[in-house]
Structure 1
Amino acid sequence: MMKCTQATQLLSERLDRNLTNSEKVNLGLHTAMCPACRQFGKQMLNLRDLSQRYVKASDASAQDK
């Protein structure tokens, strides 16, 4: 069974690279049983989305000047 430290590491890494099939399966099993890691994964995705929106808004603002 994957530990929470391993799961949070993979949840972070999946933002930067494609996980292997084995990593995906193990992470999916862990997050299905661990609400804390499941929430951490959602927060990581939200942070990525907010960061991307901020960059797009900043780029649009810079072009308007």
Structure 2
Amino acid sequence: MVMCREATTLMSQKLDRPLTRRESFTLRLHTIICGPCKRCQEQFQLLHGIGDQLL
């Protein structure tokens, strides 16, 4: 099981490159059981989408 710090690193990397199957599974599993990280991932995606619109 990964810790929140590792999960947020994967969230950031997911915005820059495709994650491996293992990384995707690990992140998905973590965000299923960790509410704060799930919200963090949603915020990452929202901010990334806003950034894309500005460019």
**What TM-score does the superposition give when structure 2 sets the normalisation length?**
0.95
Of structures 1 and 2, the larger Rg is shown by 1
* Percent identity for Structure 1 against Structure 2: 36
Higher relative contact order (CA 8 A, sep 6+): 2
Output aligned runs, 1:9-28, within 5 Å: 9-28=9-28
Partners of 1:17 and 1:36 lie apart in 2 by 23
Paired AA for residue 36 in structure 1: P
> Which residue pairs with 2:7 in the alignment?
7
Gaps of 5+ in 2: none
Residue deviations 1:11-36 (CA, integer Å, cap 9, x gap)? 01000001000011111110000011
Deviant stretches of 4+, over 6 Å: none
Structure 1: unaligned runs, 5 residues or longer: 56-65
Q: Over residues 13-61 of structure 1, what are the superposed CA-to-partner deviations in whole Å (9 max), with x where a residue is unaligned? A: 0000010000111111100000111011100110111011112xxxxxx
Letter of the 1:21 partner, please give it: R
Distance in 2 (CA, whole Å) between partners of 1:36 and 1:49 is: 20
| Counterpart for residue 32 of structure 1 | 32
